[in-house]
Amino acid sequence: MSTAAPTLEVQDLKIIGIPSMAAIVEELSVEVRPGEILGVVGESGSGKTTLGLALLNYCKEGTRLDGGKVSVAGQQLAGLNWRQVRQLRGRTVAYIPQSPASALNPALRISTQLKECLSGPPAQVLDRVRQVLREVALPDDDAFLARYPHQLSGGQQQRVAIAMAFTARPALIVMDEPTTGLDVSTQAHVLATVRSLCRTYDCAAVYISHDMAVVAELADRIAVMYSGRIVEIGGTADVLSNSRHPYTRRLLLAVPDLQAKRPMIGIPGHAPSPLARPQGCAFAPRCPLADAGCGKDAPAATEVGPRHTVRCFKSEQTLPPVQLRNPSIRSAPAAGRKPVIEIQGLNAGYGNTTVLEGINLQAYAGECLALLGESGSGKTTLSRCIAGLHHDYTGSISLDGSTLAPSSFKRTKDQRRRVQYIFQNPYESLNPRRTVEELILQPVIAVRGKVSNAREIVATALERASLRPDHATRYPDQLSGGERQRVAIARSLATEPEILICDEITSALDVSVQSTLVDLLRGLQAEMGLTLVFITHNIALVRNIAQQVAVLERGRIVEFGEVERMFANPQHHYTQSLLTATPNFQLPDRLSTP
Question: Which residues, 6 or more positions from 15, have their beta carbon under 8 angstroms from its beta carbon?
Answer: 23, 24, 25, 26, 47, 50, 54, 59, 63, 64, 65, 66
pLDDT higher for 551 or 99? 551
Average pLDDT (166-172) is 89
Separation CA 452–CA 457 (nearest Å): 10
DSSP letter at 532 equals: E
Question: Which residues, 6 or more positions from 322, have their beta carbon under 8 angstroms from its beta carbon?
Answer: 253, 262, 263, 265, 587, 591, 592, 593
Separation CA 234–CA 32 (nearest Å): 12
Chain segment 258-307, per-residue pLDDT in tens: 776 777 787 887 788 888 888 899 999 999 888 988 988 889 999 998 88
Chain segment 64-103, per-residue pLDDT in tens: 889 899 999 888 987 788 888 888 888 899 998 877 777 8
- Which of 423, 378, 372 lies closest to 536 in space, CA to CA? 372
Residue 321 is predicted with a pLDDT of 67
Separation CA 370–CA 380 (nearest Å): 12
Mean pLDDT of the chain: 86
Q: What percent of the chain has pLDDT over 70?
A: 94
Chain segment 361-411, per-residue pLDDT in tens: 999 988 899 999 887 789 989 999 999 999 999 999 999 989 999 999 999
φ/ψ bin of 266: left (φ > 0), alpha (ψ from -120 to 50), beta (otherwise)? beta
Chain segment 216-226, per-residue pLDDT in tens: 889 999 999 99
One-letter identity of residue 445: I
Chain segment 5-42, per-residue pLDDT in tens: 899 999 999 999 888 888 999 999 999 999 999 999 99
DSSP letter at 285 equals: G
Separation CA 226–CA 85 (nearest Å): 29
Q: Is the separation of the CB atoms in 385 and 468 below 8 Å?
A: no
Q: What percent of the chain has pLDDT over 90?
A: 43
Residue 335 is predicted with a pLDDT of 54
For 213, 486, 513, the CA distances from 517, given in Å and listed in that order, are 18, 9, 6
Chain segment 487-531, per-residue pLDDT in tens: 998 999 899 899 999 988 877 677 877 887 787 777 777 777 789
Strands (E), 91-194: 93-96, 172-176
Average pLDDT (548-576) is 91
Is 325's pLDDT higher than 80?
no
Please, what are the domains in the chain? Answer: 8-92+170-310 (3.40.50.300), 109-163 (no CATH), 340-428+498-581 (3.40.50.300)
Is-cis flag, bond preceding 19, omega within 30? yes
For 99, 100, 135, 151, 250, the CA distances from 155, given in Å and listed in that order, are 11, 9, 15, 12, 30
Burial string for 311-339 (b: 16+ CB within 10 Å, else e) reads bbbbbeeebeeeeeeebeeeeeeeeeeeb
Residue 277 is predicted with a pLDDT of 87
Q: How many CA atoms lie within 13 A of 414 on its CB side?
A: 3
| Partners of residue 93 on adjacent β-strands | 89, 172
Q: Is the separation of the CB atoms in 290 and 284 below 8 Å?
A: yes
Residue 193 is predicted with a pLDDT of 80
Q: How many residues does the chain have?
A: 594
Confidence of residue 324 (pLDDT cuts 50, 70, 90): low
Dihedral over alpha carbons 513, 516, 517, 519 (to 10 degrees): 160
Residue 110 is predicted with a pLDDT of 94
Q: Using CB atoms within 10 A of its CB, is residue 474 exposed (0-12), middle (13-18) or buried (19+)?
A: middle
